[in-house]
Structure 1
C-alpha cells in the first residue's frame, strides 16, 4: 500500500511543535509503524516557503500557498497536483488520505478519480459545519469520511444528511510529549490553552477567574495562546483587576505548554465548538481535570466536567478548588491504536477498486 497524505498545513521542521499537534502525532506514529506505506505529505498553505524536505523520515512537499484567496489559490492547487503526479509516476499511489473537508479533500477527490484509487477524508474541525462551502462541492459518496468523535459525526449528519464511514478517536503519541507527573504540588489553579478567537470564548475564562477571586484571593490562572481577541481580553483583565491573578503568555511551543500542564490543576475550556478537542487528552495525560462545554470527544467523564451554561464554569471549578483531587496521569488512547484503526479501514476502501480492476 502506498498512501499520499494531503493537508492544509504541516510543521516546517521537527522543531515546529505548534503546527497541528494532533496531525504531528498521527504522522509520527504512522511513519514509525508503516514507513513503507507513506508515499509523502503535500502541505497546501503552510509552510509558507515552497519546497521539499524531510520530517521524521517523511517526504514532505510544501506548496507555500500562504492562504492566498480566490484565483491565486488555484495556483496552490496546481502545485499540489503537479507534486502528486510526480510522486505517482515514481511509485504508484494506491490510496489518498486528505485532512479537513476542504481544498485538500477536493484535490484528493480529483486524484482519486484520475488514478482510480480510493480516497479517505478525515474531519478535523469546523470543516464539518454547514458554513463550509466545500461540502457542496465534494462528492461524499465517492470517499470514506472518518471523524474523531460522535459529536463531529452528528454535525456531519446535520450538515450533509449522511453518516460518516467510521468514528476513529485520536490518541496521543507519548514520544512527542513530556513525561507525565502525578505530583499534587501544582502552583497554577486554572489553565486555558487555545487560539484567542471568538469561537474559543476565552472572555468566559476571564469572567470565571474574576468570580473565583472572591473566594480564592490567591488564585492563579494562565491563558496560553494568541489571536484577535487578545486586546479585548487584556482590557477585561484590567477592568476586573486580575493583573496579579491571570497571565497571558502568548503563543508557546508544545513542550512549554506541557510544562505548564504539569504545573496546573484544572483545564478550563469554554470553547463553543470542537470536533474532538485534542487538548482534553493532553490535559488528562498530564494529570489535570477538565471543565468544558459539551464539545469534542469526552472520553473520560470521571475527570471531565461538562457545563450547560456560563455560570457552571465558576460553580464547578469552585468545587474542585475547594477540595484536593488527585492528579493522576491518564493516557486514554495511544496514537498507535489510532493509526492501526485507520490501517484496518484502508483495505475496506481498497477492496471495491480491486474488484473493479479484476
Structure 2
C-alpha cells in the first residue's frame, strides 16, 4: 500500500482465501471488488479476523487482505486477537491517512472498529447483516454504538434490531448484484426447482427435499438441484433416498460462484426455506438470474417482482406448483445494484466519496457448460 494514498479499513470475520474460493461470502467479495473498481485511488484493506486459516497477507478483488488466522477461537484467545488487530490498525493509521472503518456484523469486528474510532477520532460504521440483529447477540449492549453509525442490510433487520436491542439503525445499506456476472445469452430453463446455501440446520433444506417429493407427485419428471455443502449433507441425501427422490435431486456440493449463477439462470423456481434471513444474497442472485423466488421471509417492506413470500410451510407446495405450471419468468429482476451499495457507503466517508473513478469490471462471460448428474431413467 502507498503511504500517501487514503486507506479504507474493512473488518470482517472472513473473506475468500483466493479467487477460487468464490463460495465464501460472495456478497462481501462483490462489495469489495466493486468498491475497489469505483475508487481506484483509495487503498482498501480487508482485515479478516477468523478465515482464511493463514497468516500471509495477499491481494484479491483489488484490495489488500490481512488474515489474522483467528480460527473462531474464544475466550482469552479471542480477546488477544482483538487486541492484536487494534494495535495493527493503530500502527497503520500512523503510517497512512485512514478515511474510516466499516465493520461487518455487530460483533467482535465492530468492537475493534469502535475502539479504533475512539482512539483516533475517525469514523466507524457497523453493518448489521443477519444473526447479529437477534436478541442472543450481547455485543450491542456492551458497545452501544450510536444509531447514526449503524447500517442495516434490510428493513427487516432494522426492525429486528430495534425490537431486540431498542435502538433503530439510522441507515439502510441494501445488498446489490452485478448484472455482468450472469452469462449471456441465458441458457434454457431446464431445472424446475433449485435451492442453494450452506447445508446447516438454520437453512432447513429438509423442507426443500420434502417439497420435491410432494411436487413430484404431480410433476413426475421434476428436476431439482441443491447446491452447497455442510454438516447436513448426509442426512439430506438419506432423506431424499427415503422419500424416493434421490434420482430427482442433484446434490452438487460446493461450486464456484459463476457455476451457481449459471444454474440459477437455468432454474424456473428458486426455493429458500431458511428460518431466518437478513437479506438473502442467493435470493437476489436468483431474481437477477430471472427465476421466481419463493421464501418464508421477505426482507423488504414493499413487494419485489417475482419474489413470492409464503409464511406457512403448508402453502409452499401450492405456490411452487402454481409457478411451475405457469409460463417461465420472462426477464431478470434487479432491484438493487452493487454500484449503488458502494456509492451509499462512500457517502459516509467524505475522503472516499470524492475519489470515485469507475473502472470496468470483468463479467461472467458466455454461457458456462455445467452438466448435472441426473440418471437417464428416473425411478417410477
- Determine which of 157, 169, 172 is the counterpart of 2:177: 172
**Maintained 8 Å contact 1:272/1:295:** no
Summarize the Cα distance change of 1:199–1:129 in structure 2 as closer, same or farther, 3 Å threshold: same
Corresponding position of 1:149: 154
Q: 1 CA distance for matches of 2:18 and 2:209?
A: 34
- Determine which of 59, 71, 91 is the counterpart of 1:86: 91
- Determine which of 201, 207, 211 is the counterpart of 1:208: 211
- Determine which of 312, 316, 321 is the counterpart of 1:318: 321
Give structure 2 stretches of 5+ with no counterpart.
1-5, 354-380
Q: CA deviation at 1:347?
A: 4.2
- Determine which of 14, 37, 45 is the counterpart of 1:32: 37
Summarize the Cα distance change of 1:180–1:153 in structure 2 as closer, same or farther, 3 Å threshold: farther
Work out whether 1:7 is the aligned partner of 2:12. Answer: yes
TM-score w.r.t. the length of structure 2 is: 0.86
Work out whether 1:264 is the aligned partner of 2:267. Answer: yes
Work out whether 1:306 is the aligned partner of 2:309. Answer: yes
Corresponding position of 2:367: none
Summarize the Cα distance change of 1:189–1:299 in structure 2 as closer, same or farther, 3 Å threshold: farther
Q: Secondary structure at the match of 2:347?
A: helix
Corresponding position of 2:116: 111
**Maintained 8 Å contact 2:268/2:329:** no
Q: Deviations over 1:266-314 (max 9, x none)?
A: 1011111111111111101111110111243477533011102111111
Summarize the Cα distance change of 1:72–1:271 in structure 2 as closer, same or farther, 3 Å threshold: same
Corresponding position of 1:161: 166
- Determine which of 280, 283, 293 is the counterpart of 2:296: 293
Moved more, 292-301 or 127-136: 292-301
Q: CA deviation at 1:19?
A: 1.5
Summarize the Cα distance change of 1:312–1:142 in structure 2 as closer, same or farther, 3 Å threshold: closer
- Determine which of 196, 199, 203 is the counterpart of 1:196: 199
Going by fraction, where is helix more abundant, 1 or 2? 1
Q: CA deviation at 1:327?
A: 3.4
Q: Secondary structure at the match of 1:32?
A: helix
**Maintained 8 Å contact 2:228/2:251:** yes
Residue correspondences, number: 347
Q: Secondary structure at the match of 1:51?
A: coil
Q: CA deviation at 1:76?
A: 2.2
RMSD, aligned CA: 2.0
Q: 1 CA distance for matches of 2:207 and 2:77?
A: 38
Q: CA deviation at 1:14?
A: 2.3
Corresponding position of 2:74: 69
TM-score w.r.t. the length of structure 1 is: 0.91
Corresponding position of 1:140: 145
Q: CA deviation at 1:86?
A: 2.6
Corresponding position of 1:356: none
- Determine which of 327, 347, 360 is the counterpart of 1:344: 347
Q: 2 CA distance for matches of 1:194 and 1:299?
A: 25
**Maintained 8 Å contact 2:148/2:169:** no
Work out whether 1:123 is the aligned partner of 2:128. Answer: yes
**Maintained 8 Å contact 2:103/2:125:** yes
Q: 2 CA distance for matches of 1:292 and 1:10?
A: 27
**Maintained 8 Å contact 2:289/2:332:** yes
Q: Deviations over 1:140-198 (max 9, x none)?
A: 228601012110101110111111121121111345x2325555x32210000111112
Work out whether 1:244 is the aligned partner of 2:244. Answer: no
